Amino acid sequence: MNNIGVLGGTFDPFHLGHLSIAEAALNELGFDRILLMPAKVSPFKVGRKMAAEADRINMVRCVAAHYDKLDVTTIETDARRVSYTYKTMKALGKQYPGARLWFIMGADSLLSLEDWYKGKDLLREYDFVLAPRPGYDLLEVDEKIRYFMDTYRTEIRVLHNKLVDVSSTEIKKMIHEGKDIRHLVPEEVGDYIYEHGIYH
């Protein structure tokens, strides 16, 4: 059975924090494949500095092209409306029959997972990979992991990824201010941003 990790996000832009999570999932858990999944963004939330959907997808594809086990799925951006994680995982299950799908998420998101759309079904039917982020409460997260595993019999693996204290918002702000961001994003993403004038 193939183990496939699903790492979603707005990826606006995709940065080294995202890449460290994907690499850790491959190296630590031996996944057969990681699907990088750009999220569809509600038109009501799009700000002036938001990159076009096509650019967000292309930036991620530029990175995935350099890794044998990284792929890009546009299952959410192809949808007519913003997707729910449960529905997305169901759809991916049809695309990858027989595969064991793991949803990769940040520690902050785990705390509210039970309250997501069909969150309890999500916990019962899928497994999860938790990526620690700078500043997260280890004790609170550990308690939630034990609760979810005991209650829903889900499996949750915790990565030991390199903690990269960077955010997409910070990167866009730096670009707007004319500062160099190449140390915060994969080389391919930096090249794409500067070549296409993204966020300027």
Q: CB of 20 within 8 A of CB of 63?
A: no
Q: What is the pLDDT of residue 133?
A: 77
pLDDT score recorded for residue 185: 97
Q: Which strand (E) or helix (H) includes residue 41?
A: none
Give buried/exposed letters for 7-39 (b at 16+ CB in 10 A, else e). bbbbbbbbbbbbbbbbbbbbeeeebebbbbbbb
The predicted structure's pLDDT at residue 43: 62
- pLDDT score at 163: 77
Q: What pLDDT does 17 receive? A: 93
Distance CA 181, CA 131 (A): 23
Nearest alpha-carbon partner for 128 in 151, 103, 110, 164 = 103
| Domains present along the chain, CATH in parentheses | 3-196 (3.40.50.620)
Residue in 102, 119, 103 with CA at minimum distance from that of residue 111: 119
On the 0-12 / 13-18 / 19+ scale of CB atoms within 10 A, 47 is: exposed
Q: Two tokens at 16?
A: 């080294």
Q: What is the pLDDT along the chain (200 residues), one digit of tens a residue?
A: 799 999 999 999 999 999 999 999 999 999 999 999 999 986 656 555 689 999 999 999 999 999 999 999 999 999 988 889 999 999 999 999 999 999 999 888 899 999 999 999 999 999 999 998 777 777 889 999 999 999 999 999 999 877 788 899 999 999 999 999 999 999 999 999 999 999 98
